Amino acid sequence: MNVNSSRLRKRIRDSILILFLVVLVVAFAIGSSGFLRPSNIVSILSNFSVLLILSLGISWVVMAGSLDISQAGIAGLVGILIGLILPVIGYGAIAVGILVGAGFGSLNGLIFTKARIPSFLVTLGTLFVTTGLEKYLAVTAHVLTNGIPIEGRLDVFLPTIPLLNVPRSFSLFYWAAGESILFYMISQKTRFGLRIYAIGSSASSTLLYGINVTGYQVLVFALSGAISAVAGFLYLPYLNTASPTFTDSLTFVTLAAVVLGGTALAGGVGGFHRTVIGALILSIINNGLTVMGLDALALFVVQGVIIIIAAVAVSRGIKTGIIQ
């Protein structure tokens, strides 16, 4: 057996990915002069950042071999929660928010490991509960703030830097980039990261080597919840919305970003660099088609087709495991 085959295949896949990205960008640049305009690049980066930030949490869980679809719910809930308590305890609200997120995440993890209920179901339930709580609180929030939108309060986290004229959306990008790099480092360079990969690859074997697999699993869900919490207070002000359809579609799109980039749903393979690429591809496709002035209607169809092409190029025959 060719010992180098995995590395070779990885290299080939990575090159195809980069090539595909380049082709995409070039195609859109040709198709529309507006594509490469600075303001548009900023737009791409913002969409990309939003998608990415939410996908980071799922990446951890998927790497460990499970599923988590409660991100959008936790994010929304924490966003509102922080908005509510910000005037009361100032920046301490951040800590509270993250704790709440981690709390829900841990709940996911505990139910998953102790009650042995499939992660998809547990997080589905959490998604419903958190979305419900969020809506419930939104009303209260509205009352307490006398009608001033909560979102306005959260601007603090996304400062505009007046001197450099950096728009708020760019700050979002910094957060996304920063988190991605941080998590990439953690996954590659720490014992924690290595063990998460091991658990995703073969939880049973890892257990035999004396590692507390359930402990790590709970941790990874908690981490996902905390990341969602951060996403919550970041993007809520930016997007100004928490509609049900938004939650509906975003949930699966983030998972798609993870899978598209090449992180296997079976766990143990892939990582944050892959999620970044997956999110990037989806955002570019979305933006590029819009900028091309494509008939709003044809937009959807073409987008779907391109996603298929991207998938064929990139995630073809990938190890899927749980879901084919």
Partner 1 sequence: MASSSGEVLELTAEGIVKRFGDFVALDNVSLDLRVGEVLGVVGQNGSGKSTLMKVLIGAQKPDAGRIQLRGRPFSPKNPHDAESHGISMVYQDGALVPDLKVYQYVYLGREVTRGTILHSRGMRDKTSELLENLKIPCSSDDFIRDLSPATQRMVSIAKASLGMITGENKSDERIIILDEPTAQLSSTERSIVFDKVREWKKRVSFVIISHLLQELIEISDRMTVIRDGKNVGTLDLHEKSVSAAELHKLIMGRERRDIVVRRNASLTKVLEVELAKQRVFDVSFSLGEGEIVGFYGTIGSGVRELGMALIGSLRIDRGVLKKGGKSLGGSIAARVRMGIGYLTGDHASQLNIEWSVQRNISLSNWDKILTRFLKLAMIDSRKERQLAEEYMKLTNIAPPNPDAICMSLSGGNKQKVILARWLAKEPDILVLDNPTAGVDVGTREEFYRLLANSAASGKSFILISEDLDELSTLCSKLHLMKDGKIVRSLASAALENLGDEDIRQIIKGL
Partner 2 sequence: MLKLGGRRLQERLIVSNLGLLIGMIVLFSVGSPGFLSVRGIIAIQLTLVPILLLAVGETFVLMARSFDLSIGSIYILTSVFTALFASQLGPVAILVGPATGAIFGLMNGMVFKFGRIPSFIATLATMIIYQGVAQIVVTGQYYLFATEESFRAIAISFVASVIPLMMVWAMILTVFFIFVALKTKFGRVVYSIGANYEATRFSGINVMKYQLAAFAISGFLAGVAGGLAAAQQGGASALPYPILLPAVAAATIAGTPITGGAGGPHRALLGALMLAVLTTGLNVNAVETNLKTLIFGIVVIIAIYLTTDRRVVHLIK
Given the rule CB under 8 A, which residues bind partner 1?
A: 1-7, 189-192, 194-195, 197-198, 200-202, 204-206, 208-211, 268-269
Shortest distance, CB of residue 311 to partner 2, whole angstroms?
Answer: 4
| Residue 211 or 307 having the CB closest to partner 1 | 211
| Residue 227 or 281 having the CB closest to partner 2 | 281
**Binds 37, which of partner 2, partner 1, none (CB < 5 to 8 A, cut-off by type)?**
none
How far from 300 is each of 245, 285, 307, CA to CA, in Å? 16, 10, 11
Whose CA is closest to 276, among 200, 143, 176, 135?
176
Residues in the chain: 324
The four Cα atoms 314, 319, 320, 322 give a dihedral, to 10 degrees, of: -160
Output the DSSP codes for 309-323. HHHHHHSTT---TT-
| Residue 37 or 114 having the CB closest to partner 2 | 114
CA distance 111 to 74: 16
Shortest distance, CB of residue 299 to partner 1, whole angstroms?
Answer: 38
How far from 240 is each of 3, 234, 235, 285, CA to CA, in Å? 51, 11, 8, 23
Shortest distance, CB of residue 94 to partner 1, whole angstroms?
Answer: 23
Shortest distance, CB of residue 3 to partner 1, whole angstroms?
Answer: 5
**Binds 303, which of partner 1, partner 2, none (CB < 5 to 8 A, cut-off by type)?**
partner 2
**Binds 131, which of partner 2, partner 1, none (CB < 5 to 8 A, cut-off by type)?**
partner 2
| Residue 267 or 278 having the CB closest to partner 1 | 267
| Residue 7 or 114 having the CB closest to partner 1 | 7
CA distance 72 to 138: 15
**Binds 5, which of partner 2, partner 1, none (CB < 5 to 8 A, cut-off by type)?**
partner 1
CA distance 281 to 300: 15
| Residue 117 or 148 having the CB closest to partner 1 | 117
Note the residues at the interface with partner 2 (CB under 8 A): 65-67, 112, 115-122, 124-133, 135-139, 244-245, 248-249, 251-253, 255-256, 259-260, 265, 296-305, 307-308, 311-312, 315-318, 320-324
**Binds 58, which of partner 1, partner 2, none (CB < 5 to 8 A, cut-off by type)?**
none
Whose CA is closest to 79, among 228, 210, 278?
228
Shortest distance, CB of residue 204 to partner 2, whole angstroms?
Answer: 8
The residues near 225 (Cβ < 8 Å, ≥ 6 apart) are: 57, 70, 74, 101, 102, 103, 104, 105, 106, 108
Determine the 3-state secondary structure of 37 from DSSP. Answer: coil
Shortest distance, CB of residue 57 to partner 2, whole angstroms?
Answer: 17
| Residue 2 or 165 having the CB closest to partner 1 | 2
User: Would you say 71 and 56 are in contact if contact means Cβ atoms under 8 Å apart?
Assistant: no
**Binds 312, which of partner 1, partner 2, none (CB < 5 to 8 A, cut-off by type)?**
partner 2
Shortest distance, CB of residue 37 to partner 2, whole angstroms?
Answer: 26
User: Would you say 63 and 197 are in contact if contact means Cβ atoms under 8 Å apart?
Assistant: yes
| Residue 5 or 146 having the CB closest to partner 1 | 5
**Distance of alpha carbon 76 from its chain centroid, rounded?**
14
